[in-house]
Amino acid sequence: MSSGVSITSRLAQVWLVGLIVALFSGIGRANMTGIDIAPSPPTTTPGRSAEQRLKELGITLPPAPEPFGTYAEAVQTGNLLFLTGMLPTEGGRATIIGRVGAEIDAGAGRKAAHLAALNALAVARQHLGSLDRVTRIVRLGVFVATAGDVRDQPKVADGASELLQDVFGKDRNPARSVYGVASLPLGAAVELEMTFEVADGVDPPTSNRTTKIDGLSIFYREAGPKDAPTILMLHGLPSSSRMFQPLFARLSDRYHLIAPDYPGFGHSDWPDAKIFAYTFDHYAEIMNHFTEALGLSRYTLYMQDYGGPVGFRMALAHPDRIEALIVQDAVAHNEGLGANWKPRRAFWADRAANESALRTNLLSLATTRTRHVGNDPNVERYDPDLWTDEFAFLNQPGQADIQSDLFYDYRTNVDAYPKWQAWMRERQPRLLVLWGKYDLSFESSEPEAYRRDVPKAEVHVLDAGHFALDTAADQIAGIVRGFMK
């Protein structure tokens, strides 16, 4: 949080000069007006995992503190993550208050710095998804509430510095500035400011497996501790479990993630449509058998697009297995299918007369691209491989028949919407709704329709498209972490 402390221009100038000297002259350590500047060694330690170190140290990070005012706890620009001022708070209040040299001694100040650093790491993890994305700590600023002629501020600051070194390693020690100030917000003894350098993403180990379900080879991705809360991720059209890779990189440090491919998608078997029923009822039956084969007795369902019809059927069949629901651009209300669904409804009414037109639209490159980009004016944010890969998949032998059969069966979802709504109204499941505001596949009114069924639902409309993970993976990971607490 903002310290509200005015640092004199002279002190600011001294700090800036010291930092520039350290960065560009290679000074090992400059000591000016309480400024400690560490050397700049290599930025990474091969094989060192901050998340693993936390476990080895027996450290459980606290919940990330909520802002005390109108500001963001963390802001990322490029590869730098800036944290707002961090206080030694628990449950929204400062737990170590007072001035070093008056109400508390340096030892209590060290404890305050340690707790503030834990809060900083909790905020960084919430934003990044994993502390393993931190390549180094660039700067640590430590403000110490001080009375009289106290000179122990660097010792107090070590309460934070030593924790950071234990977690990230000596080679990632930051430049450090230490200030003695008259007072801090909430009467806290210490406030920290931190800047991290971060990588685009760190991929924790993911296992790519197959298992036999009802005579079919079902491919699935799995990551994370098996004794952690399980999130079962159900993909959309025309994607596969691959769409969830951004979340695997950001959530598997804390959650057990499972993402299967349906039959006819990805790396699962593609039985001929003449002998296999490509229906949502059949998919739900197979996915239920899949969870049983893996011994998943309790899980959160993460449902995107086609994952909604599959997941809701699973939930109604086995409600005792459902810990919570996460809906990402999946419809459960008729009004969620807008005007662009009129020709698709005509296909449901008369398949023979509308089959050719439906296939041309559903399987085209333009439609495949639009599913991702929607009406987002910033198309440069999207990797074109997203839709060219899917278009290549849709043009594989047999795919036209598979996708046509499945889309024809989509009409049964519309018939089932009232049942799903009634189930939600009766059960009041824990529900998180994530929605890309540029999604042209479904109506923008759909997120609030969920809230009518589940008034306590958590709803987030994102600066993203139908496949919101394309551009909002960091934000979604942070929201999911908060929801899963």
> How close are the terminal C-alpha atoms of the chain, in Å?
22
Length of the chain: 485
Virtual torsion, Cα 17, 21, 23, 24, nearest 10 deg: 130
Asked whether the beta carbons of 304 and 467 are under 8 A apart, the reply is yes
Question: Which of 235, 333, 372, 466 is an active site residue?
Answer: 466
Count of other CB atoms within 10 angstroms of residue 212: 10
Tokens 């298992």 correspond to what residue? 211
Do 474 and 127 touch, CB atoms closer than 8 A?
yes
Whether 466 sits among the annotated catalytic residues: the reply is yes
Q: Count the neighbouring beta carbons within 10 Å of the beta carbon of residue 38.
A: 20
CB-based contact 270:263 (threshold 8 Å) = yes
Locate tokens 């070093």: which residue? 100
CB 233 within 8 A of CB 244: yes
Half-sphere exposure of 203 (CA within 13 A, CB side): 8
Question: Taking the mean position of all CA atoms in its chain, how far away is CA 138?
Answer: 23
How would you classify residue 352: left for phi > 0, otherwise alpha for psi between -120 and 50, otherwise beta?
alpha
- Residue 427 has which token pair? 């059960």
Active site (catalytic) residues: 466
